Amino acid sequence: MPRMGIPERIWSCQGCGKEVGRGLTTPSVANCPHCGVRFNNTVEGMMANSNDRMDDLLNRSRTSTPSYSGNSSSSAVAGRIVGLVILLVGALFVLAVVVGAVVLFVYVIKAATAPPKKSKKTRRRPSSGWEKDEE
Ligand SMILES: [Zn+2]
């Protein structure tokens, strides 16, 4: 295959120094074919890394919550109910906090916008009950 004058780059392994691939982009390999080191600068290597991380998380969650295939399925159900109750309590707590914040907010706004106490205006109309003079 003749060269078309396209500049290509030789990608070599940082671990063993051997050639991994040639081209404009990083070689589409996740691991070095020579020494097997994982490449962090290739797309495949990054995908493999994220896959490894996902597998690690899945394995960890699997091991942290052991699932018995025996007769202890009721405990799993109980755990699920407990989780649901905790979730419900948490939701109620959040709701209470939000409602409390709104009530407090309305109270503060009312207190801020309410006119000051009319202690002086009480003396402005001394004729209290003058409408009842006709009776
Ligand atoms: Zn290598």
12 and 63 fall within a common domain: yes
Which residues span the domain enclosing 54?
A: 8-67
Mean pLDDT of 31-48: 94
Q: How confident is the model at residue 33 (pLDDT cuts 50, 70, 90)?
A: very high
Ligand 1 centre to CA of 97 (Å) is 57
61 and 31 fall within a common domain: yes
Ligand 1 centre to CA of 75 (Å) is 50
Count of domains in the chain? Answer: 2
20 and 55 fall within a common domain: yes
Calpha distance 101→107 (Å, rounded): 10
109 and 61 fall within a common domain: no
Residues 27 and 20: beta-carbon distance below 8 Å: yes
Ligand 1 centre to CA of 78 (Å) is 51
Tell me the pLDDT tens digit for each residue of 74-124. Answer: 778 888 888 999 999 999 999 999 999 999 999 998 888 877 766 665 555
57 and 83 fall within a common domain: no
Q: Model-level pTM?
A: 0.38
Tell me the pLDDT tens digit for each residue of 58-69. Answer: 988 877 655 556
Ligand 1 centre to CA of 27 (Å) is 13
Mean residue pLDDT of the chain comes to 82
Ligand 1 centre to CA of 47 (Å) is 18
Ligand 1 centre to CA of 20 (Å) is 8
Q: Calculate what percentage of the chain has a pLDDT beyond 70.
A: 73
Q: Say if residue 135's pLDDT is above 60.
A: no
Ligand 1 centre to CA of 16 (Å) is 4
Ligand 1 centre to CA of 9 (Å) is 17
Q: How buried is residue 75: exposed, middle or buried, by Cβ count under 10 Å (0-12/13-18/19+)?
A: exposed
State the amino acid at position 4 in one-letter form. Answer: M
Mean pLDDT of 41-57: 93
| R_g of the chain, CA atoms, integer Å | 37
Residue 119 forms part of a structural domain: no
Residues 48 and 56: beta-carbon distance below 8 Å: no
60 and 92 fall within a common domain: no
25 and 45 fall within a common domain: yes
60 and 108 fall within a common domain: no
